[in-house]
């Protein structure tokens, strides 16, 4: 048997060891924080000049201009094959279909006779979408962010993606820009891209909210910028992760393929197998070794497997308890009897159930969003949705009858808090 994953027995783990297993994407020496803080300061001070210097330093490209317009985007989009165009169109349609149901009108509520309250959605006016383009170019991420932004009705959608070696963007990203009716893209990557959108530069507009996954530097930059500007962020979405719960009914080939799909994102990705069956873990170890050998990105996946592990549990309740503590970005339940487990899932970004539901389907084309909280943030954050691109404003209207009904209550509450001007705003109306 090949041992690709370190295996732990759940019952024998002490609490400090569990805490170590739950921790990921940490920055103990503060190296990422320091690097990001320096980049942010440079972009704030020097604007476009800093972005061009970073393009030379990090992307190895000397940029004359920081953006591509509609004509250049159209030419790049036309360079890709019809089969690829069709796949992107189907993904676009499915993502649109799923997200379109999320824009619901809420009903008006009369809280007491004559007192009416309601809530209406309004789009966030200017949003910044960061589309990674490092070791893997991700046109799918542009669809995942652009589609809900369009459904929400955002007035300005600013897209940043790192330049390729030819100083352009990938044709697939260009085709997605066309599907989304976006006719400009900025050639900026990394922490410097999110800083540029947060502050605005000579070329790049300042936005109200930042979206998009990235490496540790991008994730850290988003968090730092949220603290120092009025820009908000979608969520902390850093290195990718998957947790697979599988029992003896699972196919080890499928499980191994699902684990490897996550590890090829980057060396800091993580793939966890939680099982009630030691023989399944053994079979997955063998399948991992066989499948890894055939992957073009085997070197990256192998490094990610070094960060990964398997856990043997006695019961599925133990397995789900560990998963809820880990709060995975992606949770796959590969069991015949998956339905009873669904209601026990309390922390996860997106869940894939059954033997024929690979996480890749959600990454690309089933319709759900793949921009999801990582590093345990699924305990408190949701993945991107139309809600991420809107804010909801409350309205109220009070009639003469309503003022008679609610007025005295407000006067009493204002007085007990010692806020007499608040009381008076009601009293002058009652008299």
Please indicate if the annotation marks 172 as binding a ligand: no
Give the 3-state secondary structure of 17-67: HHHHHHCCCCCCCCHHHHHHHHHHHHHHHHCHHHHHHHHHHHHCCCCCCCE
Which one is catalytic: 329, 334, 359, 411? Answer: 329
Q: Could you say which DSSP state residue 11 is in?
A: G
**Distance separating alpha carbons of residues 332 and 349, to the nearest angstrom:** 11
Structural contact between residues 199 and 46, judged by C-beta atoms closer than 8 angstroms: no
Please indicate if the annotation marks 417 as binding a ligand: yes
Please indicate if the annotation marks 102 as binding a ligand: no
CA distances from 428 to 121, 397, 401, 405, 425 (A): 33, 17, 15, 15, 6
Which one is catalytic: 99, 330, 334, 359? Answer: 330
Strand partners, 271: 242
- CB neighbours of 184 closer than 8 A, spacing ≥ 6? 67, 68, 69, 70, 73, 159
Please indicate if the annotation marks 247 as binding a ligand: no
Burial of 262-273, coded b for 16+ CB within 10 Å and e otherwise, reads bbbbbbbbbbbb
Please indicate if the annotation marks 240 as binding a ligand: yes
**Distance separating alpha carbons of residues 220 and 25, to the nearest angstrom:** 10
Q: Is 329 a catalytic residue?
A: yes
Please indicate if the annotation marks 192 as binding a ligand: yes
Please indicate if the annotation marks 381 as binding a ligand: no
Q: Is 330 a catalytic residue?
A: yes
One-character DSSP codes across 396-417? EEE-HHHHHHHHHHHHHHHHHT
**Distance separating alpha carbons of residues 180 and 199, to the nearest angstrom:** 25
CA-wise closest residue to 8 among 239, 287, 272: 272
One-character DSSP codes across 208-274? SEEE----HHHHHHHHHHHHHSS-EES----S-EEEEEE-TTS-HHHHHHHHHHHHTT-TT-EEEEE
Structural contact between residues 31 and 334, judged by C-beta atoms closer than 8 angstroms: no
- CB neighbours of 285 closer than 8 A, spacing ≥ 6? 1, 2, 3, 4, 5, 310
Please indicate if the annotation marks 330 as binding a ligand: yes
Provide the annotated binding site for NAD(+): 130, 192, 215
Annotated binding site for Zn(2+): 262, 265, 363, 422
Binding-site residue numbers are: 130, 192, 215, 240, 262, 265, 330, 363, 417, 422
Catalytic positions are: 329-330
Residue ranges for the known binding site for substrate are: 240, 262, 265, 330, 363, 417, 422
């Amino acid at each position: 048997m090949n041992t690709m994953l370190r295996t732990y027995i759940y019952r024998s783990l002490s609490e400090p060891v569990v805490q170590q297993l739950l921790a990921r994407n940490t920055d103990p020496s503060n190296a990422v924080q320091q690097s990001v803080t320096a980049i942010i300061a440079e972009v704030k001070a020097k604007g476009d000049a800093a972005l061009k210097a970073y393009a030379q330093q990090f992307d190895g490209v000397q940029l004359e201009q920081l953006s591509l317009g509609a004509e250049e985007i159209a030419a790049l989009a036309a360079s890709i094959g019809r089969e690829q165009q069709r796949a992107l169109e189907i993904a676009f349609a499915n993502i649109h279909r799923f997200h379109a149901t999320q824009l619901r009108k809420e009903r008006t509520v009369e809280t007491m006779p004559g007192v009416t309250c309601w809530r209406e959605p309004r789009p966030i006016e200017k949003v910044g979408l960061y589309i990674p383009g490092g070791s893997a170019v991700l046109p799918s991420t542009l669809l995942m962010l652009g589609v809900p932004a369009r459904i929400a009705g955002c007035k300005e959608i600013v897209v940043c993606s790192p330049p390729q070696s030819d100083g352009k963007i990938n044709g697939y990203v260009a085709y997605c820009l066309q599907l989304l009716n976006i006719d400009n893209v900025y050639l900026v990557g990394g922490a410097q891209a999110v800083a540029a959108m947060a502050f605005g530069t000579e070329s790049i507009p300042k936005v109200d909210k930042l979206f998009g996954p990235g490496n540790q530097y991008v994730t850290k930059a988003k968090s730092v910028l949220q603290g120092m500007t009025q820009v908000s962020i979608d969520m902390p979405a850093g290195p990718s992760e998957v947790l697979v719960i599988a029992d003896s009914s699972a196919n080890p080939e499928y499980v191994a393929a699902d684990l490897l799909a996550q590890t090829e994102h980057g060396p800091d990705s993580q793939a966890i197998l939680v099982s009630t069956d030691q023989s399944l873990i053994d079979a997955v170890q063998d399948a991992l070794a066989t499948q890894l050998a055939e992957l073009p990105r085997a070197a990256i996946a192998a490094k990610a497997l070094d960060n990964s592990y398997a856990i043997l549990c006695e019961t599925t309740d133990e397995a789900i308890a560990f998963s809820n503590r880990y709060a995975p970005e992606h949770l796959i339940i590969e069991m015949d009897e998956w339905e009873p487990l669904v209601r026990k899932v309390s922390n996860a970004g997106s869940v894939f159930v059954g033997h024929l539901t690979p996480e890749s389907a959600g990454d690309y084309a089933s319709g759900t969003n793949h921009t999801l909280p990582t590093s345990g943030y699924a305990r408190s954050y949701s993945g991107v949705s139309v809600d991420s691109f809107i804010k909801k404003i409350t309205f109220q209207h009070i009639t003469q009858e309503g003022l008679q009904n609610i007025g005295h209550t407000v006067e009493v509450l204002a007085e007990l808090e010692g806020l007499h001007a608040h009381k008076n705003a009601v009293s002058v109306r009652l008299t």
